[in-house]
Amino acid sequence: MAQQRMLKFVTTAKETPEKRDAAVRSHDFDEIYREYAEVKATEQASRCSQCGVPYCHSHCPLNNNIPDWLRLTAEGRLAEAYEVSQATNTFPEICGRICPQDRLCEGNCVIEQSGHGTVTIGAIEKYITDTAWDRGWVKPIKPAMDRPESVGIIGGGPGGLAAADVLRRAGVQVTVYDRNDRAGGLLTYGIPGFKLEKDVVMNRVKQLEEGGVEFVLNCNVGTDISFDAIRGKHDAVLIATGVYKTRALTDPGSDATGIVRAIDYLTASNRKSFGDEVEAFDDGTLNAEGKRVLVIGGGDTAMDCVRTAIRQGATSVKCLYRRDRANMPGSQREVTNAEEEGAEFVWLSAPKAFAGNPVASVTVQRMRLGAPDASGRQSPEPIEGGLYEEAADLVITALGFEPEDLPTLWATEALETTRWGTVKANFGTHATSLPGVYAVGDIVRGASLVVWAIRDGREAGTEIIRFLDGSGRIAAE
């Protein structure tokens, strides 16, 4: 009986894959978690209680059939577990690595609620798909027949790539345009290797390429080719450009050298991991080695900067955040990892001014949490007299991202945007205000998560196929 293998949460303790020792891992960019051994994955999967109403499933943005692939894993039927897992997720090995599971599937696991410790869903999802790659179960993309229609996808991040996968499997001709020299978006140049090794992403890009998806790289739409030209070339277009405009500091002295943007800093570091020459890294501008580093922000990007600086050999790394630990947007798991690696978090603190050029120190304002605002979140407010100086040679700002002004950059005023500047798209169909033009991922949602971009991309791919089945080329404006 299959059930007998399950429900082991009372007798089997939760065990995550082993974490590499902090003293060792903080010197390299390899992922910090080791893989489960098969016996461990099987054992951990068997802890699932096979809930009739699985909250893990309903809180996964992709509605993964989690109890099903956990049961198959517990029964040692890994190839079938992989089939079920990949049916709803284009990149399960990526989500298994970097989803904030504590806020999604695992955070809603009922056995966690009963105090037994969640089923380690993400680690098992990663294990299943890594095994599938190792054993050759990941099938190449081979459409049953080719269709004549073509779709242009602007942006090769997870949103664009998930749509490319759906479209290409249906035989549609797909071209992905990206201004970077490698596809993958923030999976490639934002998220560091210690969370997501680069060959994991490149394997997926290669799979799409080998399946017939054409990549036009180093192509900035709006500069190297116009948006209208892309619309003219394809039967439908998908905008998946993400959000890259960095919120800037406005405090006195914040234009000094030595104060850099997180996206530039992380991109340089990721490029070095690929073995690229990066002038701004090699000349020290974007390299933390031997420096006292201050990172400003409390989200995942700040966390990634902190941990990158440690690996680059900074002499000290501190993270300033204006709220407290309980109210930070970043994942608690990542804070713990960063602390283990030697980072110091200075909660309830914000920069007030910067001295020196290049920057030499920061005046830090101590904060406290005041009354809740309209959203119910307590607003930080300065403590009178609570000022002190913090020495710093490199300041990395990670204050969040905003959308670029696409209608202006692309001279396409008819593309409707929201008051936040994100592209207005229907949340079900992903259709924009322009016929035959769809949009997904961060450019619609604002800075969000990989798993949501994948969901959007899969849905938009399906919707574009419906559009292609029902009508012809995009009507000229």
Judged by the rule CB under 6 A, the positions of this chain that interact with ligand SF4 are: 48-51, 54-56, 60, 62, 64, 66-67, 70, 89, 95-96, 99, 101, 104-105, 109-111, 119, 121-122, 125, 451
Q: Is 6 in the site for ligand FAD (CB under 6 A)?
A: no
Residues near 30 by beta carbon (within 8 Å), at least 6 away in sequence: 20, 193, 194, 197
Least distance between ligand SF4 and beta carbon 15 (Å): 15
Q: How many helices (H) and strands (E) does the chain have?
A: 19, 15
Give whole-number Cα distances, 367 to 116, 300, 432, in Å: 37, 21, 42
Contact stretch for ligand FAD (CB under 6 A) within 5-13, 78-86, 366-374, 440-448: 440-448
Q: What is the 3-state secondary structure (H, E, C) of 1-61?
A: CHHHHCCCCCCCCCCCCCECCHHHHCCCCCCCECCCCHHHHHHHHCCCCCCCCCHHHHCCC
- The residue from 221, 295, 343, 434 that contacts ligand FAD (CB under 6 A) is 221
Residue 63's binding partner among ligand FAD, ligand SF4, none (Cβ under 5 to 8 angstroms by kind) is none
The reply to whether 335 sits near ligand FAD by the rule CB under 6 A is no
Q: How far apart are CA 216 and CA 170, in angstroms?
A: 21
Spacing of C-alpha 219 from chain mean position? 22
Positions 252 through 271 that interact with ligand FAD (CB under 6 A): 266
* From candidates 58, 113, 218, 220, binder to ligand FAD by CB under 6 A: 220
Q: Which residue has the tokens 């033009």?
A: 437
User: Of 121 and 367, which has the nearer Cβ to ligand SF4?
Assistant: 121
109-168 residues near ligand FAD, rule: CB under 6 A: 154-160
Spatial distance between the Cα atoms of 119 and 242, rounded to a whole number of angstroms: 32
Relative to beta strand 401-402, strand 173-177 is unpaired
What would the two tokens of residue 470 be? Answer: 């029902």
Q: Considering CB distances under 5 to 8 angstroms, the limit depending on partner class, which of ligand FAD, ligand SF4, none binds residue 67?
A: ligand SF4
Chosen from ligand FAD, ligand SF4, none, partner binding at 242 (C-beta under 5 to 8 Å by type): ligand FAD
Q: Find the binding residues for ligand FAD in span 77-106 (CB under 6 A).
A: 98-99
- Which partner in ligand FAD, ligand SF4, none is near 178 (CB below 5 to 8 A by kind)? ligand FAD
Binding piece for ligand FAD, criterion CB under 6 A, among 51-59, 350-358, 418-426, 443-451: 443-451
Nearest approach, Cβ of residue 476 and ligand FAD (Å): 22
Binding to ligand FAD (CB under 6 A) within 235-254 occurs at 240-242
Question: Kind and range of the H or E element at 187?
Answer: helix 186-189
Q: Which does 442 bind (CB under 5 to 8 A by kind): ligand FAD, ligand SF4, none?
A: ligand FAD
Output the CA angle 335-339-345, nearest 5 degrees: 75
Partner that binds at residue 54, options ligand FAD, ligand SF4, none, CB closer than 5 to 8 Å by kind: ligand SF4
Q: At what angle do helices 38-45 and 121-134 cross, to 10 degrees?
A: 140
| Residue 6 main-chain phi, psi, to 5 deg | -100, -170
Distance CA 337, CA 319 (A): 14
Which residues contact ligand FAD by CB under 6 A? 98-99, 154-160, 177-180, 185-186, 190-191, 195, 220-222, 240-242, 266, 300-301, 304, 441-442, 448-451, 453
